[in-house]
Amino acid sequence: MYAILDIETTGGKYNEEGITEIAIYKFDGHKVVDQFISLINPERDIQPFVVNLTGINNNMLRNAPKFYEVAKRIVEITEDCILVAHNAQFDYRILSTEFRRLGFEFIRPSLCTVELSKDLIPGQESYSLGKLVRSLGIPVTDRHRASGDAIATVKLFQMLLDKDTTKSIIQQSIRLNPKLQLEPRHLDILEELPSTTGVYYIHKANGDIIYIGKSNNIKKRVNQHFTNTNQKSKKIQSQVTAVTYETTGSELVALLKESEEIKRVKPIFNRALRRTVFTHALYSFVDDKGYINLKIDVADLRKNPITTFTNRESGKSFLNKVVEEYNLCQKLVGLYKTKTSCFNYDVKACQGACIEKEPTETYNARVEALIQKNSYRNKNMVIIDRGRDIDERSAILIENGVFKGLGFYNLNYQITNIQVLESIITPMQNNRDTQHIIQSYLRKNNRLKVITFN
């Protein structure tokens, strides 16, 4: 659990500043579950340059509560939390100083989004909060006011969690959170999980990830791990102390995240899933008559397939569909072995490419249309899918036929060019598995929005 905060002060000499406004958002890694926002009477004058910057003046604070009046609420909302702030050293110092004046030692673990951003989003022109969130398309209101800056930090931190592909932030949280170091009952873990689409991570006591999975219903799937009686499930049940998760909204995003993170983290109970997820592929060749033929064959890493399949049967099922959709010849796609005409020609459902009756140009044009639709070779495109909230979308970026990564953006933020898109994308590995996942998903979801660009 995180307490994401921002503090405005009076300015002045080091350790003599007073708090004028504080905003704290309690964040569980997915949503804000509690919040505290208040002006505070610092019992000292505000420096003029601070008044100009924040708009907070001495008159506004005359009837505001003094720090000792809100101290208990601050302790309660930050208890068992990691403090998160943009330039956390400053906010933590100011808060600790105020508590020391009351004779209370305020100690909390902390994370700094400036340092995390430099590590996870390198190459930015500026890491000041205002310039950074604008460059990343994060909306911000009431700049230099505690609430506006704190909620912008919440959204930035959520993006950093997305970009933290090694899960170091999550693992650190588990080690620091005393409640999760206990051995909780499985029902307690399930109670905290959502019934939504995403990726889940099963941890043991030291925070290490022992299993990664994807589901359209995280709670239901984890419950299956806890109730199954096979050997793997029993081992997971005995070692699990926490389950963290990332909601994705999009099943495609969940599939891609699961595939990449299993390969990188190599959890002990994911051994079977580290292998490639497809066995067969669709290839094309031109016969001696000039017709483009299609063929389902065993996937060969040395060849460049049009698309891939989990098994031969799913490949044949695909061919049967496209024969009808594109009016192709059964013989030339390998579904009907004959030295003469195919069955469809005999029932007037084929235009005769099998017996050279249809011109190669017209037949091949339809095959090329099929290939163009089902292969993203050399294409530049963005696949737009569901986001984690109603006002958010996910974006999967492909450049020159290479999967570059994925990210999320707010519907109010217009993606006007590829450079803007690249700033919100978390880079991911391009490999045969990601290509298969994307192509398979596109085949099954014809209504997806796909934007192509030069």
The whole-angstrom separation of Cα 177 and Cα 82 is 8
Crossing angle for the helix pair 432-444 and 360-374, nearest 10 degrees? Answer: 110
Query: For the whole model, what pTM was predicted?
Result: 0.60
Give the distance from CA 444 to its chain's centroid. 21
pLDDT at 175: 55
Are the C-beta atoms of 309 and 295 separated by less than 8 Å? no
- 124: three-class secondary structure by DSSP: coil
Best CA proximity match to 190, nearest among 166, 217, 222, 168: 222
The whole-angstrom separation of Cα 149 and Cα 412 is 19
C-alpha distances in angstroms, 1 versus 196, 266, 319?
20, 26, 50
| Residue 376 DSSP label | -
| Placement of tokens 């690249």 in the chain | 422
The whole-angstrom separation of Cα 297 and Cα 433 is 17
Q: Where are the beta strands (DSSP E) in 276-372?
A: 280-286, 292-298, 307-309
Q: Give per-10-residue mean pLDDT for the chain (454 aa).
A: 91 83 91 92 88 86 90 92 89 88 86 87 86 84 83 91 79 54 65 92 91 93 84 86 92 93 89 66 91 89 80 89 90 90 89 91 92 79 90 88 88 69 84 84 83 78
C-alpha distances in angstroms, 3 versus 32, 40, 90, 138, 305?
9, 19, 15, 19, 49
The whole-angstrom separation of Cα 207 and Cα 244 is 10
pLDDT at 178: 40
The whole-angstrom separation of Cα 39 and Cα 72 is 15
pLDDT at 181: 33
pLDDT at 182: 31
pLDDT at 416: 62
Are the C-beta atoms of 117 and 160 separated by less than 8 Å? yes
The whole-angstrom separation of Cα 21 and Cα 40 is 5
Tokens of 425: 């994308």
| Placement of tokens 């190459």 in the chain | 123
Are the C-beta atoms of 255 and 441 separated by less than 8 Å? yes
Best CA proximity match to 242, nearest among 206, 268, 293, 217: 206
The whole-angstrom separation of Cα 219 and Cα 186 is 11
pLDDT at 415: 66
Best CA proximity match to 106, nearest among 70, 60, 57: 70
C-alpha distances in angstroms, 291 versus 308, 322, 344, 348?
22, 17, 17, 20
